[in-house]
């Protein structure tokens, strides 16, 4: 657990209140937790420091987002074929499409950085 910057904490608290069905009923504990990044892990403290654990988690999250994007853009989450040969061809074509999409979007991201990238830097130790 590490403490967020004052600016990051305020943004998080505002978001919690805005997204609450009844802002008057937001618990004090919830707002208190908004002051911290809390991450549960099985990494041993003698092997990894806090910065390394947070970096590994950020990388893991990027992988999760990549798979989510892959499934969303290509529909690869549901395999419609039943025989092995057509399934392999279907998956291969979807993976090829995803590589083309990734190549195109990486070029666009250089011109237009993703939303929240400047915010992510604030959470670094």
Chain CA centroid to CA 121, Å: 14
Is the separation of the CB atoms in 2 and 36 below 8 Å?
yes
The Cα angle at residue 82 between residues 81 and 87, in degrees rounded to 5? 50
pTM listed for this prediction:
0.54
Is the separation of the CB atoms in 16 and 34 below 8 Å?
yes
pLDDT tens per residue across span 11-69: 999 999 999 988 888 999 999 999 998 888 898 888 998 889 889 989 999 999 988 88
Sequence-distant (6+) residues with CB within 8 A of 73 are 97, 98, 101
Q: Which two tokens stand for residue 84?
A: 């092995």
* Rounded distance between C-alpha atoms, residue 100 and residue 90, angstroms: 16
pLDDT tens per residue across span 90-116: 888 888 988 888 888 877 777 776 665
Sequence-distant (6+) residues with CB within 8 A of 17 are 23, 26
State the pLDDT at residue 125.
44
Residue ranges in 1-125 assigned as alpha helix (H): 6-19, 28-33, 50-74, 84-111, 117-122
pLDDT tens per residue across span 9-25: 999 999 999 999 888 88
């Amino acid at each position: 657990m590490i403490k967020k910057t004052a600016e990051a904490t305020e943004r998080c608290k505002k978001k919690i209140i805005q997204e609450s069905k009844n802002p008057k009923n937001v618990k004090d504990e919830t707002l208190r937790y908004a002051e911290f990044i809390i991450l549960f892990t099985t990494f041993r403290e003698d092997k990894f420091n806090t910065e390394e654990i947070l970096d590994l988690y950020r990388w893991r999250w990027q992988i999760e987002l990549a798979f989510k994007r892959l499934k969303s853009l290509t529909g690869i989450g549901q395999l419609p074929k039943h025989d092995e040969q057509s399934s392999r061809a279907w998956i291969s074509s979807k993976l090829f499409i995803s590589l083309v999409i990734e190549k195109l979007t990486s070029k666009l991201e250089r011109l237009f950085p993703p939303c929240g990238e400047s915010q992510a830097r604030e959470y670094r130790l």
